Structure 1
């Protein structure tokens, strides 16, 4: 396939340059990026060509330029036709230098040459020949990247000569060999170890790979018996990883366990080349004979010597068989490929775009080592996404869950269910404190008030009184069955429906709902309170005046046209409270299922309706069924039924599973559970999970306040985690046991160990022994506790171990970065992660 220009025309110039190569089918075309030039590469077969790449966007292509990709092209700069038996080529790796090539030839000679005059001419390097004692083929040539004056060559076998020659080109008298290795051996391949520039790895004699330390060439550093001796190459980003091949097998080596390959990758065809990517850690490319694709092997180190591999193949976008490829030295995942016909292509290896989510809620999309997009935890997109992690962090910063009054926590959330529960918890605590509800737990549920969860049959403990109460304000003699008892009235208080049987309170509640804009709910409350006229008047002055007209025609005749029309039209109403009104007024035989199953009504309203209009047996059956439904849904409103007892655990767990809001679950449990329930495993798991979140967010103050409230409600004393001990005897420095019988204001001298009497370390600022009491270090006569301000606490750097009184150290680092101890260069402040953390 001839090389074409950007317009698809055959290029006469390059056809001439490659004609000799195309006529010789046995010649393999090779390509190599310059290791020190971002935009230069060479190709060779029987001739060597130097190209320069350019971006299409930067300059207009010329007629004889070749296209490498949609975005890049290449321009021929120079040709070197002096060497017709090229077997291997490597480019001088010193940054800032011009192109200088080491060309290994069929006769064993290695020629150092460039493309025309260069700065190497005056150094006497350009045109230099490295000639072995006996002629034989040069199989590999490699510059040392760590010491570019050294170059290693690998030769075929000669019975009385070495196959590895290491040359030093710095000598004024000409190149000299610094090491000769492998007497009567054959070198198939070699590579310098990246971080051991005096160590060579050589594939030899079709049977071994040998590591040789040039400081002692007579002794092999390590070796392994293998036939995979071809293409030995060291990984750029690893001191330990090597790759080689033989026939159709790629071998991955770890020099720490060099007895055998850590991975053997079987391929479908014979391998012709393996090459590590210099910009991607542990990415190996391999090329198979007569292949149109390049195979990629992602070597993953799972444990110290345990490796795995993920493999894939790419087609660079050229037709024909690929004969060679070369990774770009700087551009990530970029490679050049060349085919048998001389076609070139510039390809970027596409990797998976990964999403990385930090514990602080920062998100970043990456492609290899490039950042495609990042989202800060303060970005407004989190408000749109409703991410619970950022929501919890924002709540925590405002003191959520720790407010003195439980209902105050409702003001810190936007979720209506959470608002309902925090307000309900605050109301039940006040009712319990005032004695309005008789229950030992401060947050009983409807079920516990009614005695549903007790072992005694409910029919023996609860008997409600039935009353027929007429509708108020209408002409027909209609009435409704109302069930009342002391415990029903107590349960209604938990639903905030104590007004239902008090007309004056009911009217006040209706006015409150009307002021809040909840017109339909206010009308429903009035109808359930049998104040039908109030509901009619309320709806008549709103957009629901048609509904008001319908209500004004109410009568208790079961066969009336009004009842039939309302029953048929009820489902067309959009508002759940309006549907509930007509379901209540048109119910047959006290069958209120349509009201109770109106899920868009508030749970408290449905519970209160059941408490007022259902018989004992039907009410119990409905409340049990509703509890099961709300628990399965993880609806927090179910807590009104269960209360803060063991029955609430499955409900809270389901809510946590649905929302991930461990913050609300943990704080509700911590603030409202009785002590035995608070100390159960599930509650403690929620609490410890929330503590870990606070630690990850570095919200130390909030975590401390949370722990203080939690510990005040548990029966167990928190385990001590920090001890101050003597450096000499190892015993505690606490003086509590020595000062129990002292006077109320007698100060305890703790400048030395109370056990061995050795002095404590001195403060680096005031040079006073640590622990020396100040005037405020006294025993409180009322509480008997020792008053020891934080300013006098022990403080020290975890790196250099120097420190002093907390107040003195804080004052020092207000103006300094380094340790206050003379001669210590530790930058203690920069090591303190909390010093730059925003809480």
Structure 2
């Protein structure tokens, strides 16, 4: 669509050379170039369908067809499975494009292109509205060319997921636009479900990669053309590491301290300092973090620790070593630095009675 005659000729000849004679012929037919249609049908290895299409087009170009010719075309159409061949037969049989865009075997983007070229405005609006509604009702992913990756696409993806159980396609596609341009609770649920599935299947590295790339896509960025830089409208935050409470699954970081605690918690149990002499407690449910399986000190750090260390590399390294690592198999936790030292000399978990070979879980 929208090609110059030279571009059209080069494009259809390339398709025909790749063995896609019917598609290339159909594209030429849309542009009204019957000579190019015939050339495409004669390119490469021909079969009976290509010859039948050539005869049908020749009969159509000669003038008003008779009843016998129409019956022959109708009979041939029943034996054609190729969507582009069917579309060509449909056109030469009826002599207009209205019947062609009703041919559901034809890819939707072609049908929309034909409608934009040949339908009057009123018919075009009705066709687009009805086709969009049909795509949403059927969960036809091709309907994205009508809805775009906008809020209109959410009902389409919802039907698509229910029909095909393909969560990944919806999540990956919508990650480019939500929450960057719009938010919808259904998208959030799909994304978190997708993350949980990857964790359940042991795809921890893939889930982490998804999280990092999703975070990059979520930033609302614009390019400064004068300086060639990309700036973000989101505030610049220091890199942070945070914990989630294993009981209530809420984040345990400094920002949580500003949220109202649970009513049954004593104020002194709220996690609001970096010292953690009494152990870090969840600000929501009040339960302590686990102890390090090696040093028996309470685990858990506030993300605010990154602010104090600034750009000091050694301080950053010490801070990382004070972070938490845990085994996905036995769930025992320890400080990252202690875990490194322990598993340099030992194969099994440091907890007495646990024979888990934690490092082998990554192999």
Normalising by structure 1, report the TM-score: 0.31
Given candidates 59, 63, 85, the residue that maps to 1:578 is 85
Conserved in 2, the CA contact under 8 Å of 1:795 and 1:803?
yes
1:617 equivalent to 2:122? Answer: yes
The CA deviation string for residues 447-466 of structure 1, in whole angstroms up to 9 with x for no partner, is: xxxxxxxxxxxxxxxxxxxx
Aligned positions of 1:676-691 closer than 5 A: 677=182, 679-691=183-195
Given candidates 777, 780, 794, the residue that maps to 2:311 is 780
For residues 830 and 509 of structure 1, the distance between their equivalents in structure 2, rounded to whole angstroms, comes to 61
For residues 333 and 30 of structure 2, the distance between their equivalents in structure 1, rounded to whole angstroms, comes to 74
Partner of 1:513: 15
Conserved in 1, the CA contact under 8 Å of 2:84 and 2:106?
yes
Structure 1 residues 517 and 789: alpha-carbon distance in aligned structure 2, compared to 1, 3 A threshold: farther
Looking at secondary structure, tell me which structure has more strand per residue. 1
Given candidates 196, 206, 209, the residue that maps to 1:705 is 209
1:558 aligned counterpart, secondary structure: coil
1:826 equivalent to 2:344? Answer: no
The CA deviation string for residues 591-650 of structure 1, in whole angstroms up to 9 with x for no partner, is: x23201111111111111111111111111111111111111111000110111221111
Q: How far off is 1:683 after superposition?
A: 1.0
Aligned positions of 1:230-269 closer than 5 A: none
Partner of 1:383: none
Q: How far off is 1:552 after superposition?
A: 3.1
1:673 equivalent to 2:178? Answer: yes
Partner of 2:321: 792
Partner of 1:348: none
Conserved in 1, the CA contact under 8 Å of 2:56 and 2:73?
no
Aligned positions of 1:227-376 closer than 5 A: none
Partner of 2:26: 524
Q: How far off is 1:710 after superposition?
A: 3.4
Q: How far off is 1:660 after superposition?
A: 0.9
Aligned positions of 1:1-400 closer than 5 A: none
1:547 equivalent to 2:73? Answer: no
The CA deviation string for residues 451-501 of structure 1, in whole angstroms up to 9 with x for no partner, is: xxxxxxxxxxxxxxxxxxxxxxxxxxxxxxxxxxxxxxxxxxxxxx332xx
2:129 aligned counterpart, secondary structure: helix
Looking at secondary structure, tell me which structure has more helix per residue. 2
Structure 1 residues 645 and 572: alpha-carbon distance in aligned structure 2, compared to 1, 3 A threshold: same
Structure 1 residues 684 and 609: alpha-carbon distance in aligned structure 2, compared to 1, 3 A threshold: same
Partner of 1:809: 339
For residues 704 and 547 of structure 1, the distance between their equivalents in structure 2, rounded to whole angstroms, comes to 53
Q: How far off is 1:533 after superposition?
A: 1.1
Given candidates 134, 137, 147, the residue that maps to 1:629 is 134
Structure 1 residues 536 and 556: alpha-carbon distance in aligned structure 2, compared to 1, 3 A threshold: same
Conserved in 2, the CA contact under 8 Å of 1:800 and 1:826?
no
For residues 637 and 604 of structure 1, the distance between their equivalents in structure 2, rounded to whole angstroms, comes to 8
Q: Identify which of structures 1 and 2 has the higher relative contact order when contacts are C-alpha pairs closer than 8 Å and 6+ apart.
A: 2
Partner of 1:695: 199
Rg: which structure is higher?
1
Partner of 1:599: 104
Partner of 2:157: 652
For residues 252 and 325 of structure 2, the distance between their equivalents in structure 1, rounded to whole angstroms, comes to 14
Equivalenced residue count is 295
For residues 585 and 800 of structure 1, the distance between their equivalents in structure 2, rounded to whole angstroms, comes to 69
1:587 equivalent to 2:113? Answer: no
Q: How far off is 1:510 after superposition?
A: 0.6
Given candidates 40, 43, 47, the residue that maps to 1:538 is 40
Structure 1 residues 801 and 593: alpha-carbon distance in aligned structure 2, compared to 1, 3 A threshold: closer
For residues 584 and 706 of structure 1, the distance between their equivalents in structure 2, rounded to whole angstroms, comes to 46
1:675 aligned counterpart, secondary structure: coil
Conserved in 2, the CA contact under 8 Å of 1:813 and 1:829?
no
RMSD: 4.1
For residues 638 and 830 of structure 1, the distance between their equivalents in structure 2, rounded to whole angstroms, comes to 50
For residues 318 and 99 of structure 2, the distance between their equivalents in structure 1, rounded to whole angstroms, comes to 65
Conserved in 2, the CA contact under 8 Å of 1:566 and 1:582?
no
For residues 24 and 333 of structure 2, the distance between their equivalents in structure 1, rounded to whole angstroms, comes to 69
Partner of 1:558: 64
For residues 762 and 690 of structure 1, the distance between their equivalents in structure 2, rounded to whole angstroms, comes to 31
Given candidates 622, 631, 640, the residue that maps to 2:145 is 640
2:19 aligned counterpart, secondary structure: coil
Conserved in 2, the CA contact under 8 Å of 1:567 and 1:586?
yes
For residues 698 and 602 of structure 1, the distance between their equivalents in structure 2, rounded to whole angstroms, comes to 37
Structure 1 residues 571 and 815: alpha-carbon distance in aligned structure 2, compared to 1, 3 A threshold: same
Conserved in 1, the CA contact under 8 Å of 2:178 and 2:187?
no
Normalising by structure 2, report the TM-score: 0.67
The CA deviation string for residues 738-787 of structure 1, in whole angstroms up to 9 with x for no partner, is: xxxxxxxxxxxxxxx3999xxxx99969xxxx99xxxxx95239xx9x84
For residues 802 and 709 of structure 1, the distance between their equivalents in structure 2, rounded to whole angstroms, comes to 27
The CA deviation string for residues 279-306 of structure 1, in whole angstroms up to 9 with x for no partner, is: xxxxxxxxxxxxxxxxxxxxxxxxxxxx
For residues 162 and 101 of structure 2, the distance between their equivalents in structure 1, rounded to whole angstroms, comes to 27
Aligned positions of 1:433-448 closer than 5 A: none
Q: How far off is 1:662 after superposition?
A: 1.3
Conserved in 2, the CA contact under 8 Å of 1:797 and 1:828?
no
Conserved in 2, the CA contact under 8 Å of 1:818 and 1:826?
no
For residues 208 and 106 of structure 2, the distance between their equivalents in structure 1, rounded to whole angstroms, comes to 40
Conserved in 1, the CA contact under 8 Å of 2:15 and 2:21?
yes
Structure 1 residues 624 and 803: alpha-carbon distance in aligned structure 2, compared to 1, 3 A threshold: closer
